[in-house]
Amino acid sequence: MTNATSTIQTHYGSNDLVDRILSALEKAGNDTSNLTVEMLNLVDQLHGGGLKSTIAQAGMVQIGKDTKVFDAGCGVGGSSRYIANAFGCQIEAIDLTPEYVETAQRLNKLCGLDDKISVNQGDVTDLSQEDQSFDLVWCQNVTMNVEDKAGMFAEAYRVLVPGGQYTFSHAAGGPNGEPYFPLPWAMDPAYSFVSTPEIIVQSLEEAGFTNIETRSEARSSGNAAGRPTSEVGQSVIMGDDMPERQSNAMRSGKEGRLIGMLVTAERPA
């Protein structure tokens, strides 16, 4: 395990996440004895823009009941649950943080989706999945913690079938200087690797991807570099200092230090 990997796991790792999530939802007036994906979506979308961003990203790619989806860096499983619930497809997911993997597994079972989603610990730069085994590789706000983007993109390309799609959200580096720390994904620059939009696109091209499209996420609805729209709040999972970290992300975005991106690309058929 590298020092960066250990730091990232420590950054995201937290105990008793399921109990904290359920308690927060109950305090907000939800009946967690009948837990639903919709309830969890109030708190489990661990990226700027919350559920709105997830829905927007899903609208950029082709997803149907028979689509085989790989969620590369699933957090506590929010996006996987949304996709499985909305489209009825099968999803295989990984995350680097053991606590997130366990939490995702438990929440999937509690809302009846454990037959649709499998979750295991894994590294997006070194996948154990077989070649050409997925129609869609999905990723939300993971790349900022990945220094080896060439390895990440190469692995995504490898596991996609010809004609398969890759989609990810990302906070890219802007032209007006370094972002303000702490940020949602890093307390300091040591494990924040934002890259510029141009470098991201170049790295995708070098991995073999074509039909690369990028979209800047609108400030009004939150974005990869902005505040979430969750009604319950990400602090339940990410910690009480999240308002400060989100504020820094918003300020960095407004000043052109961060650029929120949604990206899609294809492995040639």
Residue 56 clears pLDDT 80, i.e. is over it: yes
* Joined tokens for residue 40: 């969890």
Distance CA 258, CA 178 (A): 8
Selected residue with higher pLDDT from 67 and 242: 67
Residue 226 has pLDDT above 70, yes or no: no
pTM, two decimals, is 0.90
Identify the three-state secondary structure at position 215: strand
The pLDDT of residue 49: 78
The CATH number of 3-126+133-266 is 3.40.50.150
Across 40-64, average pLDDT: 90
The residue length of the chain stands at 269
> Using one digit for the tens of pLDDT, what is the confidence trace for 1-22?
666 666 655 655 567 899 999 9
pLDDT range class, residue 62, cuts 50, 70, 90: very high
pLDDT tens-digit readout, 182-191: 999 999 999 9
Query: 49 or 252: whose pLDDT is higher?
Result: 252
Confidence of residue 239 (pLDDT cuts 50, 70, 90): confident
In angstroms, the CA 202 to CA 212 distance is: 10
- Band (216; pLDDT cuts 50, 70, 90): confident
Residue 44: partners with Cβ closer than 8 Å, 6 or more residues away: 21, 75, 76, 77, 78, 81, 107, 237
- Mean pLDDT for 159-173 is 97
The per-residue pLDDT for 13 is: 53
What integer pLDDT is reported at residue 202 of this predicted model?
A: 98
Q: What per-residue confidence (pLDDT) applies to 233?
A: 66
Rg (CA), the chain: 17
Comparing 143 with 49, the larger pLDDT belongs to 143
DSSP H helical ranges for 93-181: 98-110, 149-159
Task: Assign residue 195 a region (left: φ > 0; alpha: ψ between -120 and 50; beta: otherwise).
Answer: left
* Total Cβ atoms within 10 A of residue 177: 11
Average pLDDT rounded to a whole number, residues 27-32: 93
Banded model confidence at residue 89, pLDDT cuts 50, 70, 90: very high
Task: Work out the pLDDT band at 66, boundaries 50, 70, 90.
Answer: very high
